[in-house]
């Protein structure tokens, strides 16, 4: 095998090897009867001819292209990003896992609109805001990719459940880039079971160009994955359950959303949440070892779901930590020399609909590089905070898009950042 590859490699290498053998065989045939005759000239001629045949047959290996996928952290200079779509977005059916992730004041909305489109005028404004966000990213020098348009109204049925779809608005929830690898998260909501389909054309193209592509084990999302009697009603109920480590998702099978992980070079931080269980975390830990370490952290949060509006790492040793949801392991970061910054209280009005998130989307920012950040145009106090940190703000208004459950970090997945793998946490 190695001899063949040294000659050329593949089937043409085998032909070259056969040619050399045949020519040498003919040169040596009759050697004994002609033992007294000089054969050096004929042998040399045969070898020279065979060498020329191999050289003429040689084919140069194709030049290796630079992998289009590479990101190690949340702040290196951003070169390419996937931005989600609000088009065709639908309210998820009001199932137990959705109920556990939403507050009681919004339950009538889900009971009325579950399985239907979001209010059309609101959705139209969200679409326009995200288009403008894409335009601004392009002006800032970032290549923007978008998922496919999908009809999420289609009802599907598996052996374990039936549902309609939701959207492809938040690529951060489903795709995690670690180095040159794209990891598809399994998700935990039944309405998001087939969400990956909107991203597959993009992922296949990245794979063809050299990226690694991993799909985490897809859960069945059978009834056993959810605590069907999950006792929630008040915020106090939620605090008590979260403090006890009880969530709507069980340990029946691995599940996780990619947005419960956040990267800092060789270290990733993750929370156990309503959509990410310990089996899912352990799968990621084993998958990324030994090159990366996965650290579990927790917060005083009555309804943990996605880490980036609670603990958002924005630079080497620099993290935004939600003062309403303090990190229980904050001393670990302070001892490592990190600057833990508490962002100001959000300014979003109480009457603005946030059906799927909290006001703390104000800290759900997207770093364009260590000195530039994409931030809500209306959040003047956080602009001042970034100015004090020496970071320039790129202001964009996506208030209607916020209502669908995410800020700038949620609405994006960074595909390529210009940087190298380093350690920032000891």
Distance CA 224, CA 232 (A): 18
Number of helices and strands (H, E) in the chain?
13, 17
Exposed, middle or buried, 42 (CB in 10 Å: 0-12/13-18/19+)?
Answer: middle
Q: pLDDT tens digits, residue range 156-206?
A: 999 999 999 999 999 999 999 999 999 999 999 999 999 999 999 999 999
- Whether the per-residue pLDDT at 87 is higher than 50: the answer is yes
**Residues annotated as catalytic (active site), given as ranges:** 257, 306, 410
Q: State the pTM of this model.
A: 0.84
Question: In 179-286, which ranges are E strands?
Answer: 181-184, 212-215, 261-264, 267-270
CA distance 88 to 340: 39
Q: CA separation (Å) from 105 to 233, 303, 324, 353?
A: 10, 14, 20, 11
Taking only the tens place, the pLDDT of each residue in 358-415 is: 999 999 999 999 999 999 999 999 999 999 999 999 999 999 999 999 999 999 999 9
Write out pLDDT tens, residues 61-71.
444 568 999 99
């Amino acid at each position: 095998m190695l001899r063949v590859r040294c000659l050329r490699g593949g089937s043409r290498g085998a032909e070259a090897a056969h040619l050399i053998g045949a020519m040498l065989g003919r040169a040596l045939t009759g050697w004994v009867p002609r033992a007294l005759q000089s054969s050096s000239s004929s042998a040399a001629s045969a070898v020279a001819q065979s060498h020329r045949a191999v050289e003429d047959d040689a084919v140069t290996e194709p030049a290796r292209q630079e992998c289009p996928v590479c990101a190690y952290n949340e702040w290196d200079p951003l070169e390419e990003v996937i931005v989600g779509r609000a088009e065709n977005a639908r309210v998820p059916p009001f199932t137990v896992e959705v109920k556990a992730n939403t507050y009681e004041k919004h339950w009538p909305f889900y009971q009325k609109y579950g399985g239907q489109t979001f209010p059309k005028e609101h959705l139209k404004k969200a679409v326009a805001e995200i288009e403008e966000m894409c335009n601004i990213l392009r002006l800032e020098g970032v290549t923007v990719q978008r998922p496919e348009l999908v009809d999420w109204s289609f009802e599907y049925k598996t052996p374990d459940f039936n549902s309609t779809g939701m959207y492809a608005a938040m690529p951060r929830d489903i795709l995690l880039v670690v180095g040159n690898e794209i990891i598809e998260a399994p998700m935990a909501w039944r309405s998001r079971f087939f969400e990956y389909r909107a991203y597959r054309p993009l992922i296949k193209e990245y794979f063809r160009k050299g990226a690694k592509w991993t799909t985490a084990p897809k859960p069945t999302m059978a009834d056993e994955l959810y605590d069907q009697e999950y006792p929630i009603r008040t915020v106090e109920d939620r605090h008590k359950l979260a403090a006890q480590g009880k969530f709507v998702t069980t340990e029946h099978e691995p599940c996780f959303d990619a947005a419960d992980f956040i990267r800092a070079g060789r270290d990733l931080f993750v929370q156990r949440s309503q959509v990410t269980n310990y089996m899912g975390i352990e799968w990621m830990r084993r998958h990324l070892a030994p090159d990366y370490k996965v650290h579990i952290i927790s917060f005083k949060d009555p309804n943990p779901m996605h880490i980036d509006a609670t603990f958002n790492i924005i630079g080497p040793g620099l993290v935004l930590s939600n003062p309403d949801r303090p990190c229980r392991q904050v001393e670990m970061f302070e001892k490592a020399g990190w600057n833990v910054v508490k962002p100001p209280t959000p300014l979003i009005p109480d009457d603005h609909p946030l059906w799927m998130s909290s006001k703390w989307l104000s800290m759900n920012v997207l770093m364009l590089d260590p000195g530039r950040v994409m931030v809500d145009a209306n959040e003047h106090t956080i602009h001042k905070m970034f100015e004090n940190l020496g970071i320039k703000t790129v202001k964009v208004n996506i208030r209607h898009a916020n209502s669908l459950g995410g800020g700038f970090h949620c609405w994006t997945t960074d595909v390529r950042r210009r940087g190298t793998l380093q350690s920032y946490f000891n």
